C-alpha cells in the first residue's frame, strides 16, 4: 500500500507527465538499450524509430499516475499490455531493470536529484505498479504453458503452406514441428513470431493476428509486406517472411495471446470493420461466429485501396454465401479499372457515418474494428457520433497502443 504522502506526490506529477511524458520515455529507452543492449532482441525497432513505443509508454505512465490511488481502474490496460509482454517473453526479472532506467530518465529530464521527493515517490509507486504487472503476467504464463496443447516461451513451427492472398499479403500455415496438439485460442488473438534474419545483429519479434477460426490443427498468419511508404521504415520481418520463408522452413512461435477477442456469449448483432491488413483478426471472428453461432447476424465491412490489395476476399464471400445472416461490404478508395468493370465493391472512397447507417441495420450491436491508426480514428469518430455505446466499441492497435481521440 502506498502512503497518502506518496499518492499526493505522484498525483502532483500528472501535469508534468502530460507535458514531458514522451521526453521521459524517449530518454528511458536510450538508457535502457545503452545499459542493456540484450533487450534489443525483444523490442520492435521500427516502433522505436517511429516514436510509437515511446508514446505508448508515456500514456501508460500517465494513466498510472492519474489512477495511483485506484489502480484497479487500469487493470484492463495492465491485462492488455500483459498479453503483449507474455507473448514477447518479458519476465519478472526485467521489471527492476525497467524501474532503474525509468527513474533515471525522470531525473534526467526533470533535473531532479536522487533524493528528490518526486523520485523517491515514483520509486515506491513503480514497485507497486510492477507487482501488479508481474502478478497478472505470471497467471498468463501459467495458463499458456499448462493449457491443453500449450507451451512456455517459443515453440518451433514448420511452414506447411505459403499462399499469396493479394499483391501485399501472404498467408503462412504453421504446424508444430513436434507433431503434438496446439493450444486453442480466442478469435482475434495473435502469436509472436521470432525471426533470426541473416545479417541482422539482433533477433526480431513481431506479433501477427491469427486469421483462421479456432479448432484447426494449424495456425495461420496473413502478413502484409511493409514497404516503407509514408515515411515509415521497411518492415524487416514482413519482408523477410515474404522473400525468404518457404514451405518446410521453421519459425518459433509464442502461444496465442491478446485481449481483442469476440464475445461469443453475446447474441446481439456484430459489426466487423477492417482496413487493410486489419481484416486478419476479424476474419477469424467471422469464421468462428459462423461456425459456433450461425444465427447471430454479422455485418463485415472491409476497406482497401483496391481489389489488387484486398486479401481473403473470396474466403469471406464463401462464408457469407453459406450463411444468410452474414452481410459483406467492400469499400475501395482507389478502385482499378478492372474493379470498376467487375463491379465487385460497394463504395468508392472511404467509410463514413452516412454509409455505415445505410448498411448497418442498427447501432444496437457490438462493433469491432482494426486497421491503420487514421482509419481507426475515423471509424471510432463515426461510431461515437452515431451514439454507439462505449461498451460496444472494441478495437485493436497493431503495435503499441495509442489514442483514437
**Other beta carbons within 10 Å of 157:** 23
Please give the Cα distance from 146 to 144 (Å, whole number): 6
Is residue 278 a known part of a binding site? Answer: yes
Q: Could you confirm whether 93 is annotated as catalytic? A: no
Q: Could you confirm whether 95 is annotated as catalytic? A: yes
Which of 274, 305, 300, 302 shows the shortest CA–CA distance to 288?
Answer: 300
Is residue 6 a known part of a binding site? Answer: no
Is residue 190 a known part of a binding site? Answer: yes
Is residue 204 a known part of a binding site? Answer: no
Torsion of CA 201, 203, 209, 211, to 10 degrees: 90
* Backbone Cα Rg of the chain: 22
Is residue 397 a known part of a binding site? Answer: yes
Is residue 209 a known part of a binding site? Answer: yes
Is residue 343 a known part of a binding site? Answer: no
Is residue 118 a known part of a binding site? Answer: no
Is residue 381 a known part of a binding site? Answer: no
Q: What is the DSSP letter of 67?
A: T
Is residue 281 a known part of a binding site? Answer: yes
Please give the Cα distance from 223 to 217 (Å, whole number): 20
Dihedral sign computed on CA atoms, order 404, 351, 366, 213:
negative
Is residue 279 a known part of a binding site? Answer: yes
- Walk across the sheet containing 326-332 and list its strands: 347-348, 326-332, 298-304, 270-275, 366-370, 393-396
From 29, 95, 173, 332, the catalytic residue:
95
Is residue 133 a known part of a binding site? Answer: no
Is residue 57 a known part of a binding site? Answer: no
**Other beta carbons within 10 Å of 14:** 15
* 3 state DSSP class of 40: helix
Please give the Cα distance from 351 to 172 (Å, whole number): 29
End-to-end C-alpha distance for the chain, whole angstroms: 33
From 126, 137, 141, 219, the catalytic residue:
137
* 3 state DSSP class of 380: helix
Is residue 22 a known part of a binding site? Answer: no
Is residue 398 a known part of a binding site? Answer: yes
Q: What is the 3-state secondary structure (H, E, C) of 237-299?
A: HHHHHHHHCCCCCEEEEECCECCCCCCCCCCCCEEEEEEHHHHHHHHHHHHHHHHHCCCCCEE
Is residue 43 a known part of a binding site? Answer: no
Please state the residue numbers annotated as binding site for FAD: 190, 206-209, 397-400
Please state the residue numbers annotated as binding site: 85, 190, 206-209, 276-281, 397-400
Active-site residue numbers? 95, 137
Please state the residue numbers annotated as binding site for NADP(+): 276-281
Amino acid at each position: 500500500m502506498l502512503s497518502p504522502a506518496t499518492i499526493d506526490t505522484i498525483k502532483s506529477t500528472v501535469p508534468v507527465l502530460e507535458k514531458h511524458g514522451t521526453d521521459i520515455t524517449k530518454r528511458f529507452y536510450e538508457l535502457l538499450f545503452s545499459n542493456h543492449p540484450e533487450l534489443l532482441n525483444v523490442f520492435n525497432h521500427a516502433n522505436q524509430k517511429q516514436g510509437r513505443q515511446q508514446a505508448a509508454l508515456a500514456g501508460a505512465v500517465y494513466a498510472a499516475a492519474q489512477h495511483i490511488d485506484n489502480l484497479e481502474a487500469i487493470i484492463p490496460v495492465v491485462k492488455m499490455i500483459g498479453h503483449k509482454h507474455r507473448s514477447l517473453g518479458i519476465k519478472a526479472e526485467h521489471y527492476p531493470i525497467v524501474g532503474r532506467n525509468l527513474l533515471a530518465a525522470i531525473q534526467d529530464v526533470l533535473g531532479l536529484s536522487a533524493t528528490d521527493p518526486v523520485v523517491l515517490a515514483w520509486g515506491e509507486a513503480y514497485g507497486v505498479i510492477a507487482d501488479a504487472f508481474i502478478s497478472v503476467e505470471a497467471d498468463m504464463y501459467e495458463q499458456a504453458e499448462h493449457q491443453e496443447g500449450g507451451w512456455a516461451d517459443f515453440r518451433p513451427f514448420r511452414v506447411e503452406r505459403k499462399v499469396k492472398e493479394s499483391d501485399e499479403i501472404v498467408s503462412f500455415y504453421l504446424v508444430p514441428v513436434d507433431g503434438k496438439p496446439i493450444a486453442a485460442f480466442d478469435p482475434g488473438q495473435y502469436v509472436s513470431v521470432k525471426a533470426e534474419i541473416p545479417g541482422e545483429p539482433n533477433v526480431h519479434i513481431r506479433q501477427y493476428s491469427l486469421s483462421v477460426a479456432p479448432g484447426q490443427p494449424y495456425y495461420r498468419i496473413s502478413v502484409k509486406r511493409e514497404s516503407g511508404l509514408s515515411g515509415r521504415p521497411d518492415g524487416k520481418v514482413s519482408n523477410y517472411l515474404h522473400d525468404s520463408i518457404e514451405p518446410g522452413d521453421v519459425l518459433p512461435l509464442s502461444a496465442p495471446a491478446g485481449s481483442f477477442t469476440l464475445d461469443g456469449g453475446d447474441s446481439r448483432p456484430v459489426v466487423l470493420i477492417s482496413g487493410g491488413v486489419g481484416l486478419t483478426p476479424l476474419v477469424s471472428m467471422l469464421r468462428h461466429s459462423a461456425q459456433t453461432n450461425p444465427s447471430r447476424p454479422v455485418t463485415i465491412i472491409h476497406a482497401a485501396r483496391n481489389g489488387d490489395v484486398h486479401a481473403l476476399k473470396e474466403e469471406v464471400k464463401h462464408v457469407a454465401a453459406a450463411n444468410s445472416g452474414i452481410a459483406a461490404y467492400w469499400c475501395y478508395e482507389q478502385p482499378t479499372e478492372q474493379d470498376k468493370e467487375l463491379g465487385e465493391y460497394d463504395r468508392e472512397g472511404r467509410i463514413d457515418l452516412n454509409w455505415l447507417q445505410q448498411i448497418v441495420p442498427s447501432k444496437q450491436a457490438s462493433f469491432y474494428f482494426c486497421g491503420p491508426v487514421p482509419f481507426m480514428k475515423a471509424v471510432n469518430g463515426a461510431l461515437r457520433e452515431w451514439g454507439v455505446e462505449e461498451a460496444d466499441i472494441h478495437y485493436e492497435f497493431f503495435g503499441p497502443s495509442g489514442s483514437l481521440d
